[in-house]
Amino acid sequence: MGPNIRFLRSVFEVTHVEYQEYDLNQHKLVFSSGIAEKMLGYSPKEYLALSQDFYKKLVYTDDLPLVQEICDRLVRSQDGEVVEMTIRLRRHDGSYAWLYSRQMVLERDQDNTIKTIIREVEDVTYMIVLEDQLEESVNKLQQISYHNSHMLRSPVASIIGLVNLVEEHGMGEHNRQIFEYLKQTIEKLDDVIREINHLAKQ
């Protein structure tokens, strides 16, 4: 391994970003900085063998059409054009990692057929999981908002209606102060419910 390769591997190790060169004609990995195999838990030899056909044996089944689409886009791409994708790849333990990659054509044959592409790969599993958790939290807030609107607002509206009715028909002086406290409390509760609804919709 020459000094330049050692330097590059050190840079990739420090930045924890995978860099690859892939030969599309031979359907094989030409160079890997070694980060991806560590991300997924494979030995260099295992990872090299699994790189055939654009990692078809590693790609999550539902993501295979996207991989094919990206390959087609690379074939049609202009020099210097970067193509992005996010797919799931199987780890050595059987679980899946979300990997985001940016790829572009590095070399073409004389007939303009793609020979080699370069790829930069990052593990974004944590971000995807966090996004799913946030989406779940938003869904829960929306459910709370729904129940708030339909289960709380209805009885509060009924109480406000009764209070207005009593107010219209009058009452004894000794109950007027209690009634006023009740009215203020209901109005505050209604304001709180409106505020919760407003926040949940943001």
Residues of the chain with pLDDT > 70, as a percent, come to: 72
C-alpha distance across the termini of the chain, in Å: 56
- Amino acid 93: pLDDT: 95
List, for residues 26-69, the tens digit of each pLDDT value. 888 888 888 888 889 999 899 999 988 889 999 999 999 999 99
Segment 159-183 shows an average pLDDT of: 66
Joined together, the tokens standing for residue 93 give 């333990």
Report the alpha-carbon distance of residue 183 to residue 189 in Å, rounded: 10
Task: Name residue 102's beta-bridge partners.
Answer: 84, 120
> Tokens at residue 52, please?
């055939």
* pLDDT value at 87 more than 90: yes
Q: Is 126 helix (H, G, I), strand (E, B) or coil?
A: helix
Query: What is 3-123's CATH topology?
Result: Beta-Lactamase (3.30.450)
Alpha carbons 8 and 6: distance in angstroms, whole number: 5
pLDDT exceeds 80 at position 3: no
pLDDT at 163 over 80: no
CA-nearest of 16, 55, 50 to 34 is: 16
pTM of the model: 0.64
Outline where the chain has alpha helix (H): 3-15, 35-40, 44-50, 52-55, 64-76, 125-147, 153-169, 173-201
Distances (CA, A) of 115 to 10, 25, 94, 111: 27, 6, 31, 10
